[in-house]
Structures are given as structure tokens and as C-alpha cells.
Amino acid sequence: MEKIAVKELFDIVKRSYCYRNLEWGDFISVIEYLGGYYTSLEDRHIYAKIWYDKEAGMIGRRGKMARVIYMTNIGTIPDETFVTVKVSDHVIGRIDEAFLERLKRGDVFVLGGEKYEFLYAKGMVAYVSASVYKPPTIPSWFSEMLPLSFDLALEIGRFRRLMEEKFSFNVSREEIIDFINSYLYVDAKSANSIFEYFREQYEFAEIPHDKKIIVETYKEGKTSHVVVHSLIGRRANDALSRAVAFAIARSQHRDVEIAINDNGFMLSCNKPFEVKKAMELLKADKLDTLLKIALDHSEVLKRRFRHCAARALMILRSYKGREQRVGRQQVSSAILMNAVKRISNDFPILKEARREVLEDLMDINNARQILEMIEKRDVRLKYISTRLPSPFAFNIALQGITDIMKMDDKIEFLKRMHQMVLARIALKNRSPESSERAIEAFSRTRKAREIFDYEKEWEKGEKERIAKRNARIELLKMQAANLKRVPMYVKEELGKMIDGERDDLREDVVERLEKDIDRIKNKCPKELAEFLDVALREVREQI
């Protein structure tokens, strides 16, 4: 088929179920892009893919290379790779690209047991600062966690509501455990654990559920934390938390840190802020517009735009047998993104990238539904203040913090936190039995009466890690200096590599090490051999 009418093609496309809601304006904008109507894109070597006569309303094939380009570049699975992490010019390690998508300037994460603050990304390199004096805000396993579905989250919320009703009507322990067994089909130990978990939350604060969202505020030193117990799944919480944080930034000029999980999200700032005012500013019908502005310069939109640009043949992964690396694709996409914004903020590929972020990565539709329920008062917001996180807030409050703790310290820390919760409940209830239980729990450790503060926990681990790292560096330098039949200039280059240098190394030394690596590894200690393997691989990646 050499030529076809645009309207006829539109009718054919609309017959497909996935394009049943496709609008004529969106369809024509794609045709105009493929037809080369945006001449300014030719400066970026993006040319027409099809022949399009706007007056006649006809389209057709253009050129002999169109089919080759299509067959060698088409595909919905994007090219992904690892991102190199650097402090200045020194390579620290690598992180997954999906993990980088979640980062924004100021976020702190753990890599190789060390804390780093994210500054910015350029291509497939993330630049970070090693001078970090605050706990991690992003857990290391974040990008690997599967999200909870919205429907299942609402069912869990319904179970929470039923549990709160039973506690409020003073139903006996035995009856509640029988209810848990019949509702969840769990064993006796699990049922008892669930009962104790809910009882402590109920006595400490309130139980959030599908009809009530608890907004819990507490302070840790000079830092203010707000935990929003919105059990709607991580994807919907991602959208809602970004909207709230953006509203706070615009209305109160506060740059807040965000932590999210399936059960809610937490906002933190070293200056006081009013989350209630921000929540009141959010409107369901304005959520799309607000999030589009909030995401405009985000790392996640830049990455998703690259994926969409590759699918739309704006960026060719392969051309005449030459492959384009992912890093080069990302640099090209960043330039293209600025170019298409100048053409139109609703350019079809940019529009699809936003949709992919808001609907596939996040869940804007269900986040909007929750805001509508709040506006209709089907779901109410309850604001409370606590001295320390409630049991339901433990998970998100400690998110990222526990990455830098040893397992024994982590268990001990959680025990102390639990004991402090029991003590608060005892003081609240003023019953002899609960007071005695809390006093007994407090007496198990000398540290139990310390003020609630994470800093001492991670500062202790920080000192241990620095001492351990320095000891390893000294050991490697000593082993390198003691190598026999190795020229002094080679030992000097090895010392640079041990100090973290990867760029300014003598090429002849690197080539010699790569050539004789097997012989060197057989003669040098195990620690130095393992280090050389990793260091030479990082040097090769830099070239």
C-alpha cells in the first residue's frame, strides 16, 4: 500500500482495543511528527519517517531506509544499564537505573556501606557528595520492591477498620483473636502478633483505615517529621506525596524530604512546616496539572523520555550497523527534551513520557480518587502529634536508617523503640499492670531512657565504617609496597588506585596490569588480588 487516507488510517487504529479512546488531535500530532512538520528538529538530525500531504489528507512511504530503520530499532523494551556513581572524578560504584529514577537532589543513599548525597546526573553518571552528616533517606532495596495493589490496600484498610471497632467496643482478647483467625486464616502465633500490633497502635494513638487517614507529626531533634498513614499502595502514595511536597515547597518555601511505602509516606524538614495547609490546597481536579509541573525537571521524567524517544524513533539505537550506547542515548534525549519543549509542552512523545510516569510508574488515578473521597468526606483526615513514631509508623520512620546498622544493633534499636512505646502507653493508661510491664521492659537496658534520636545510632556505625575503610586502605598499600619484582612506578600507580583514582593513571601501567593480571594475582595476597579485579574493571569503564 503506497498511499492511504489519514482518516481511514485513524479508523483502522481505533478498531484496536488499546487505542479505542485515541483522540484525533493526538493522532494528528504523531502523524505531523513522523511527517517531518517540526523542521526545528532537523538540527538534531531527526528527519521525516513518512510522506504526509496535509492538504490532500494522505500519507505514504518515504525513502528506502524507512523500513530498515524501523526493523532495526523498533521495540517496546527500553535499553537499561547500570549508572556509574562518582565523587568528583573518583568512581565509587554502580547503581541500577531504576534506583536513580527515584533520586532527587539532597537524597541520601547507601552504597557499599557508605552514605552519599545525590547531587545531579549527567548521562549515565550520577554525581554525589561523600560529605554527608545525616541519615539515609532512600533504602537500598527500594527499586526492587513490588508495590501493593490499590484494591488489596483498601481491603487491608477495611480489616483495620473492623479491628478498631472491636477495640473501641472493648471486645475481649479471645474474641478478637478468633476474628483474626477467621478473617485471615493464620496460625495462633501470627494471630497473637497481629493482635498485639493493633492493640499497641490503638492504645498509643489511633488505627488508620480505609475511612480515616491519620496524619502523625513528631519531632526528632530539630527535624520535623509528618507521617501520613494513607494505605493506598506505593504507586498512589508516590503521586500523592509528590503533590503534597510540591504544595509545601510553593506555599511555605520548604524543601521537604520524602519517604514512601505501601502504607503511607513521610515528609521531613529541618524547619517547621504546616502539612494541614498543604493538604487543604490539594484539589482532585487540579492534581494532573500540579504533578506535571512538579515532575518537569525530575530525573524520572528524563529517563522515561529517553524510553519513549527510542520507541518513537527519535533516538536510533542502531543505524547502519552501528550501535549507540545507553549513555549516549541519555545525553541525546536530554537535548531533545529541551528542543521539544520549545516546540510545544504537549509534544506527543513528551506527553507520553509524562503519562508513563504518572500512570504506569505512579498511580495518579487512584491518588485522585482518594482526594475526591476526602473532598466528599467519605474519608476523613485526623491530625495527631506524638513524641515518637507510633507502631504503624516504625517501618517508614526507620526506612533507610537501618541500612547503616549492624543486624545486632538494628534488633537492639527496634527493641528499645518498642519499649519506649510500651512506656508511653503505660503512662497514658495509668493502669498498675501496664505500668509494671513498661518498667520491667525499661529496666532491661541502660539506654532505654535515652532521648529518641537516630543520630547516635548511625554516628556510631559511621565511625566504625571509617575506621574499617582506613584499615583496609593501609593493608592494601602495605601489600602493594611489598610486591617483589614490581617497578616502583607501578607501585606508585597502584597506590593511586587504592586511594580511589581512576582517571589520571598511566596508560602503560594499566595495560601492563591487564596483560599480567593472572600472574600478579597468583603472587599477591588475596585482598590485593580482589581489589585489582574491581579497580581494573572500573578503569576500563572510564575509558
So what's the pLDDT on residue 476?
83
Whether 232 maps to a domain, the answer reads no
Three-class DSSP labels, 200-224: HHHHHCCCCECCEEEEEEEEECCEE
pLDDT greater at residue 523 or residue 306: 306
Residue 130 has pLDDT above 70, yes or no: yes
Sign of the dihedral defined by the CA atoms of residues 49, 50, 53, 56, in that order: negative
Whether 323 maps to a domain, the answer reads no
Residues 414 and 486 in one domain: no
Percent of the chain with pLDDT over 70: 88
Least confident range from 215-219, 231-235, 247-251, 493-497: namely 493-497
How buried is residue 395: exposed, middle or buried, by Cβ count under 10 Å (0-12/13-18/19+)?
A: middle
How buried is residue 488: exposed, middle or buried, by Cβ count under 10 Å (0-12/13-18/19+)?
A: exposed
Residues 14 and 55 in one domain: yes
| 60 Cβ contact list (under 8 Å, min separation 6) | 2, 3, 4, 50, 51
For residue 151, name the pLDDT band (cuts at 50, 70, 90): very high
Last residue of a domain, one of 28, 63, 98: 63
Residue 449 has pLDDT above 50, yes or no: no
Whether 120 maps to a domain, the answer reads no
Q: Quote the domain boundaries for residue 519.
A: 458-542
DSSP structural state of residue 225: E
pTM: 0.75
Residues 517 and 530 in one domain: yes
Residues 434 and 474 in one domain: no
For residues 374, 376, 378, 381, the Cα torsion angle rounded to the nearest 10 degrees is 30
Residues 447 and 473 in one domain: no
Residues 482 and 534 in one domain: yes
Whether 14 maps to a domain, the answer reads yes
Helix ranges (H only) for 43-149 are 66-73, 97-101
Residues 467 and 519 in one domain: yes
Last residue of a domain, one of 63, 86, 101: 63
Residue 159 has pLDDT above 60, yes or no: yes
Whether 466 maps to a domain, the answer reads yes
**Most confidently predicted of 68-72, 141-145, 233-237, 395-399:** 233-237
The pLDDT mean for the chain works out to 84
Residues 429 and 467 in one domain: no
Whether 411 maps to a domain, the answer reads yes
Average pLDDT of the residues in 526-532: 82
Whether 127 maps to a domain, the answer reads no
Farthest-apart Cα atoms in the chain, separation:
89
**Most confidently predicted of 122-136, 451-465, 508-522:** 122-136
Residues 537 and 478 in one domain: yes
Last residue of a domain, one of 63, 98, 117: 63
Least confident range from 149-158, 206-215, 348-357, 498-507: namely 498-507
Least confident range from 190-199, 244-253, 308-317, 463-472: namely 463-472
Cβ atoms 228, 265 nearer than 8 A? yes
Whether 311 maps to a domain, the answer reads no
Residues 464 and 496 in one domain: yes
Domain count within the chain: 4
For residue 451, name the pLDDT band (cuts at 50, 70, 90): very low
Residues 410 and 465 in one domain: no
Residues 424 and 477 in one domain: no
Here the cell at position 168 is: 473501641
510 half-sphere exposure, CB direction, 13 A CA radius:
18
